[in-house]
Structure 1
Amino acid sequence: MTRIAGLAGVALFLATGAFAQQADQPLLTGKKAFGDWKADRPGVRRLIKPDDLQQPSLADTPSNSAGLADRPADAKPAVPAGFSVELIASGIDNPRVVRVAPNGDLFVADSEANRVRVYRLAEGSAKPAEKAVFAKGLTQPYGIAFYPPGDKPQWVYVANSNSVVRFPYRDGDMQASGRAEMIVSDIPSSHHWTRDIAFSPDGKTLYLSVGSGSNTAEDMGARPKGGVEEWARSEPLGATWGAEEGRADVLAFDPDGKNRRMVATGLRNCSGMTVQPATGALWCVVNERDELGDDVPFEYATAVKDGAFYGWPWYYIGDNEDPRHEGARPDLAGKVTVPDVLMQAHSAPLNIAFYEGGNFPADYKGDAFVTLHGSWNRGARTGYKVVRLKFKDGKPTGEYEDFATGFVISDDEVWGRPVGVAVAKDGALILTEDGNGTIWRVTYGDGRS
């Protein structure tokens, strides 16, 4: 992929940095909340509701894939006033998910290099004191989880595109001390390949997200023998068949990979998963389908309810029927769970982390950060930023706010595509982006908790 750096990128960075110093913005609602990268800046607030959905369009939709440019000299994400950003590492092949070990080490899935990297930062600094490759020879690794949950995990679980494996681990290990042990095999890996994993707070359940194999189940194949109604009587609500069987779902297993079961269906691509500390609820961020128009349908973050159906491929954001499946599943009307937080269409949310650290101002505690990778299927570019989801008493308000922006250079080019987000042991926010392969540390004030 060609990378081009220029003076325009430097100018944009300087302008975006100035935006970070502006005061809070008014809450944007309805169509006013549908913006593009030119209006993004830290503090911009949006509230999107199901009633804000536009009519879908099957007309030709734009392809607006980002041209990837070199990161302009000294460019960094723009963040709110009072915060600072430091570069941890650059030049990584494909840094995706980042997770924090109990001792504070940063485990980073370097997906296209088929390895997991580890960074140990100097105290109160973004400078790595040590770094290593924890494991290699993997298959597009993405999700990472420590087991059992708590201060003394014995295993590091890694979700490949086609399996879940685990490595023996002791506190402070920077290289796996043993071979990978297969936990879950035979996961379908075509199309959406990002597999995230998380453990329930009690450590009894391993959650695994498996994205769809297509945009809207184009290749699901013939209807089940005996008809859909007969088939559906013995299957989870909203389950798919054929090439999409066991996909667009969140699955659950015992920690040893046994006792497979379905948690929720109709989640087109839950590419990021985490457990909310305040409630113990499992949360997903979901990439919705393409080719229905610039603002249809909304992306979302949601608590994953056991047994729930979230719509894909027949419906979206409640009982809004996908016109490409008109009349196909009337039995599912009225049974679609509406997600908790709606985000602008084609933003491509990839990961989520709840903030419970001690470094940021007190009103950040309990909120969540979501990385928006940016998507191709929109006339004007959107996404390419990190947003903050607002919570009150453990419940989402539906509002989200731009937190880190400045990754876009122009209508044609970007230098950064945010992917991973995690809260460090010292309360700093850790971000990865796979455009230029960088990892960042965001702190408030002098960076000390």
Structure 2
Amino acid sequence: MSFFRFVLATPLSLLLMAPTAEAQEPERLYGPNPSLPTPQRGLLPNMGVPEKAPWNGDKPTVPDGFTITAIATDLMVPRQTIILPNGDILVAEGSGGGNAPQSRPKDFIASVIKSKGTTGVSGGDRLTLLHDENGDGSYEKSVFAEDLNAPYGLVLVGGDLYVANQDSLVRFDYQPGQTRASGSPELVTELPSRINHHWTKSLTASADGETLYVGIGSNSNITERGMEAEVNRAEIWQIDTETGAHKTYATGLRNPTDLTIQPDTGQLWAVVNERDELGPNLVPDYLTSVEEGGFYGWPYSYWGQNVDPRVKPENPALVESAIAPDYSLGSHRAPLGVAFSNDAVGGDFTNGVFVGEHGSWNRSDPIGYQVVFVPFENGEPAGDPVDFVSGFLTDDGRTHGRPVGVTVAPDGAVIVADDLTNAVWRVTRDET
């Protein structure tokens, strides 16, 4: 009997209840030199996504000395946020993709599992403005722009508001205090959108505002759709703000889901979702600085020169050039947000980055589902990640929410988008 016929003949519940055994976690999950276990491959990969649980009056957990508040609810799949000059918060709402064909039985099974951890709300294809009229922490929401196409990345450069849709980079005029877009967006450049297995297009701007960077994910897990589907994928583009001209800045990043610029140095950093189906403890998702012209392994290798045996033909010369990332976040955490802290956040959370971990389907026991803080020293990650916003996972294996984008406001507030609760959370330091 073929595997496909076996899947059709077997109750899905039995398949979902019988993943391969979880391997013992390696001793070193985090940092520049994580332990990398032997790859595991079987009939089915480890799979599991916790079902949604209502908050019922509870809310996420934050460290002592901080308070968390839901400043917006009933949104339409919030993804990324930015802080505008007057303190307003702009939220990108959307859900893209959906055009990737399911070529293998395991693709169908994985899609069923993934659906358990998604909201039933349709993506808004819009930008929503959150405005605190009285400065009391109570925000009113209004629609800033509509009729977008799964907007994700956002950045403001002077009077130009850039939005990365799943198929294009567009620009709006913006004036401080503006509450509604003054017109339709201007096209800056088309972005790769065929198939769109990984549809999110992350976005940031250089410190001088002259250059934009767009992260573009791969069109497969590990080239199972062929290399022709991966043209202009798994890379970061550099785009000139004046002309819209683009060039490839870095390659081999399977899914660079968020980008940011390091204060003081102007260095580009990214969080990247690595490949699946090599076991629950491979391959580490990561935080890394990004070098111009750098190659980061995908699809031929992971974490430097560790060859992925599934990719044929091999490319030893390119593997030899592969750059190992700066910092492992652990495997299957699915980081979707990254933001550098500032002095206003204060205390132990002053120097480092916040990372929003959405959680992955490629484990039978869920991990991630939190915002962590990675401390920095001398401009580099130093030490294990620290829980900053947690409590999303319940004791009975469900989850209240799934963090996506993270933004740090000039006043030290940490803004977290949650695309399962359909809320935006604001974490502030308590007054002393």
Deviation of 1:200 after TM superposition, in Å, equals: 0.6
Q: Which residue of 2 aligns with 1:232?
A: none
Question: How far apart, CA to CA, are the structure 1 residues paired with 2:383 and 2:221?
Answer: 26
Question: How far apart, CA to CA, are the structure 1 residues paired with 2:39 and 2:134?
Answer: 51
More deviation, 324-333/188-197:
324-333
Q: Which residue of 2 aligns with 1:160?
A: 165
2:416 corresponds to 1:431: yes
Question: How far apart, CA to CA, are the structure 1 residues paired with 2:389 and 2:151?
Answer: 25
2:151 corresponds to 1:146: no
77 and 265 in structure 1: CA distance in 2 versus 1, 3 angstrom threshold: same
Q: Which residue of 1 aligns with 2:257?
A: 271
Q: Which residue of 2 aligns with 1:219?
A: 225
- What is the letter of the counterpart of residue 240 of structure 2? D
TM-score by length of 1: 0.81
Question: How far apart, CA to CA, are the structure 2 residues paired with 1:146 and 1:254?
Answer: 14
The answer (yes or no) to whether the contact 1:417–1:434 under 8 Å persists in 2 is yes
Deviation of 1:121 after TM superposition, in Å, equals: 2.1
- What is the letter of the counterpart of residue 138 of structure 1? L
Question: How far apart, CA to CA, are the structure 1 residues paired with 2:124 and 2:339?
Answer: 24
Write out the 4+ residue segments of structure 1 that deviate beyond 6 Å after TM superposition.
none
2:375 aligned residue (362, 385, 390): 390
1:70-112 Cα offsets, whole Å, 9 max, x none, are: 2x22211111111111110111120110111122110100111
2:234 corresponds to 1:244: no
More deviation, 103-112/323-332:
323-332
Listed as ranges, the matches of 1:17-416 within 5 Å are 31-32=26-27, 47-59=30-42, 60-70=44-54, 72-111=55-94, 112-122=123-133, 125-128=136-139, 130-147=140-157, 153-188=158-193, 190-221=196-227, 242-325=228-311, 328-361=314-347, 363-397=348-382, 399-410=384-395, 412-416=397-401
TM-score by length of 2: 0.84
Deviation of 1:411 after TM superposition, in Å, equals: 5.0
- Count of residues paired in the alignment: 378
Describe the SS at the equivalent of 1:414.
coil
1:256-296 Cα offsets, whole Å, 9 max, x none, are: 35331111001111011111112101111000011000000
Question: How far apart, CA to CA, are the structure 1 residues paired with 2:34 and 2:147?
Answer: 47
Deviation of 1:307 after TM superposition, in Å, equals: 0.6
1:8-56 Cα offsets, whole Å, 9 max, x none, are: xxxxxxxxxxxxxxxxxxxxxx83455xxxxxxxxxxxx3443501111
Q: Identical aligned pairs, as a percentage?
A: 40
Describe the SS at the equivalent of 2:336.
strand
The answer (yes or no) to whether the contact 1:433–1:439 under 8 Å persists in 2 is yes
The answer (yes or no) to whether the contact 2:80–2:404 under 8 Å persists in 1 is yes
1:188-236 Cα offsets, whole Å, 9 max, x none, are: 2511111111111111111111111111111124xxxxxxxxxxxxxxx
Gaps spanning 5+ residues in structure 2: where? 1-24, 95-122
Q: Which residue of 2 aligns with 1:3?
A: none
432 and 441 in structure 1: CA distance in 2 versus 1, 3 angstrom threshold: same
Deviation of 1:157 after TM superposition, in Å, equals: 0.6
Question: How far apart, CA to CA, are the structure 2 residues paired with 1:257 and 1:196?
Answer: 20
Deviation of 1:302 after TM superposition, in Å, equals: 0.6
Describe the SS at the equivalent of 1:97.
strand
Question: How far apart, CA to CA, are the structure 1 residues paired with 2:28 and 2:304?
Answer: 20
The answer (yes or no) to whether the contact 2:31–2:326 under 8 Å persists in 1 is no
The answer (yes or no) to whether the contact 2:26–2:36 under 8 Å persists in 1 is no
Question: How far apart, CA to CA, are the structure 2 residues paired with 1:348 and 1:108?
Answer: 20
Gaps spanning 5+ residues in structure 1: where? 1-29, 35-46, 148-152, 222-241
411 and 248 in structure 1: CA distance in 2 versus 1, 3 angstrom threshold: farther
Describe the SS at the equivalent of 1:271.
strand
Describe the SS at the equivalent of 1:209.
strand
The answer (yes or no) to whether the contact 2:344–2:410 under 8 Å persists in 1 is no
Question: How far apart, CA to CA, are the structure 2 residues paired with 1:256 and 1:63?
Answer: 45
- What is the letter of the counterpart of residue 46 of structure 2? P
Describe the SS at the equivalent of 2:26.
helix
Question: How far apart, CA to CA, are the structure 2 residues paired with 1:270 and 1:411?
Answer: 32
The answer (yes or no) to whether the contact 1:381–1:411 under 8 Å persists in 2 is no
Q: Which residue of 1 aligns with 2:101?
A: none
